[in-house]
Amino acid sequence: MYHQAKSVLESDSALLKIYKKFPIEFAYGNGVFLYDKSGDKYLDFLSGIAVTGFGHSHPAIKKAVEEQLNSLWHTSNLFESSSQQILADKLAEVSGLEKVFFSNSGTEANEAAIKFARKFGEEKTTIITAVGSFHGRTMGSLSASAQVKLWNGFRPLTPGFKYVAFNDADALRHSITDDVCAVMLEPIQGEGGIVVPAPNYLKEVEAICKENNLLLILDEVQTGMGRTGKFFAHQWFDIQPDIITIAKGIANGLPLGATIISPKVAVKIQAGDHGSTFGGNPVSVAAAIAVMNMLSEDVLNQISNSGTYLINELKKLKSLFIKDVRGLGLMIGIEFSDTITNSQIVEALLAKKVVVYQAGRNTVRLLPPYTIDRAHISHFIQTFKSVLNDLHLE
């Protein structure tokens, strides 16, 4: 404990050393590439953790943001905003849901979902979430995130959460008691290690929720906004949730979160039940409208095709040290055997100017921009191969 506290204070800077940062500072980005201060070029296969889906400095998004910056930055949610209404209408349409609440981040989108579920449940206040899940760092979302390592030092947790194994419909069925109002899941667990559920799992969860009058809340913060090749990942599984939360990719790098709800939830919410000073600020909303306008069927198909191609190329690399390659669209995990750690691979790739990151289960996570082409994929595969070679893992 003391050791940890000391290391946070070791830095000369006043910046709290709460993130383990790589010793690289990027100066600018263009499309799929990032450039550091000395001008070195990096292939960005992380997109700022599933955020800059359309790459860096995209002209259409830049134009929308510049226009908004030249007119109005902030007025608060005390006044009308036709751009918020336009974005909300678009999100309602693509989700099959009805009303949208805007916040600034994934964790806030989930806090709103938790509050709305409790309002819906009335005296039923418990929400079931999945082991290995990640829903954010604020106390409600943290308590929903079933990973003990995130909780240590921050107890007591917010009461009213119950945890079941992911990808196990029977476990869910058996955990339902009279106090449960909702089930909250990531359609694919992201931070947990790109854990893709069995094809029928989410359909079974939907049925269990219907039978028991429980809300199905899907946290699409990482999987949404086209990342998997559908607008929302759950659309691969032919289900209809009652609440969807999104953030990350929604405004291509500007802070924005959204909680999208069905009429049966909306009818329980009254003015004043929740709020945010910055939520849905005009600049982020302008960027998000530009993103929504670009997320066409063609782009979604391109994401899906690039993802399938990349996964297949990775599967061709037969290394005893690669345990699994999995994912959907451009959300891909490469799981390694215990002889090597995912962080060693991440660092080796970074040394060769390719940016990726790790996730749970000794997994390396690839979240490239939607705009990657075959040449970028080939660049990645060649670099990855040379890393395996250097580390004698081929």
Ligand X SMILES: Cc1ncc(COP(=O)(O)O)c(C=O)c1O
Interaction site with ligand X (CB under 6 A): 105-107, 110, 134-136, 186, 190-191, 219, 221-222, 247
| Beta carbon of residue 186, minimum distance to ligand X (angstroms, whole number) | 5
Closer by beta carbon to ligand X, 29 or else 48: 48
**Structural tokens at position 224:** 């949404």
Closer by beta carbon to ligand X, 191 or else 335: 191
Provide the 8-state DSSP code for 374.
Answer: H
Closer by beta carbon to ligand X, 134 or else 201: 134
Whether cis (ω within 30° of 0) applies to the bond prior to 156 is yes
In whole angstroms, give the CA distance from residue 345 to residue 117.
Answer: 40
Closer by beta carbon to ligand X, 247 or else 286: 247
Give Cα separations from 69 to 88, 282, 291, 388 (angstroms).
Answer: 21, 9, 17, 46
For residue 128, the one-letter residue type is I
* Catalytically annotated residues: 134, 219, 248
Q: What's the sign of the alpha-carbon dihedral 88, 183, 109, 235?
A: negative
State the alpha helices, DSSP H only, in the chain: 2-9, 47-50, 59-71, 82-95, 106-121, 139-144, 148-151, 169-175, 201-211, 263-266, 282-294, 297-316, 342-351, 374-390
| Beta carbon of residue 213, minimum distance to ligand X (angstroms, whole number) | 25
| Beta carbon of residue 145, minimum distance to ligand X (angstroms, whole number) | 8
| Beta carbon of residue 110, minimum distance to ligand X (angstroms, whole number) | 6
Q: Are strands 161-164 and 126-130 parallel, antiparallel or unpaired?
A: parallel
**Structural tokens at position 202:** 């989410």
Closer by beta carbon to ligand X, 168 or else 191: 191
**Longest C-alpha distance within the chain, in Å?**
61
Buried b (16+ CB within 10 A) or exposed e, 64-82: bbeebeeeeeeeeeeeebe
| Beta carbon of residue 141, minimum distance to ligand X (angstroms, whole number) | 7
**Structural tokens at position 45:** 């296969």
In whole angstroms, give the CA distance from residue 379 to residue 375.
Answer: 6
Sheet containing strand 126-130, strands side by side: 99-103, 257-261, 243-246, 215-219, 180-185, 126-130, 161-164
| Beta carbon of residue 357, minimum distance to ligand X (angstroms, whole number) | 10
Using only C-alpha atoms, the chain has a radius of gyration, in whole angstroms, of: 21
Nearest-10 Cα torsion for 193, 199, 200, 205: 30
In whole angstroms, give the CA distance from residue 257 to residue 121.
Answer: 23
Closer by beta carbon to ligand X, 49 or else 171: 49
Closer by beta carbon to ligand X, 250 or else 322: 250
| Beta carbon of residue 222, minimum distance to ligand X (angstroms, whole number) | 4
Which residue's C-beta sits nearest to ligand X?
Answer: 106
| Beta carbon of residue 251, minimum distance to ligand X (angstroms, whole number) | 11
In whole angstroms, give the CA distance from residue 317 to residue 233.
Answer: 27
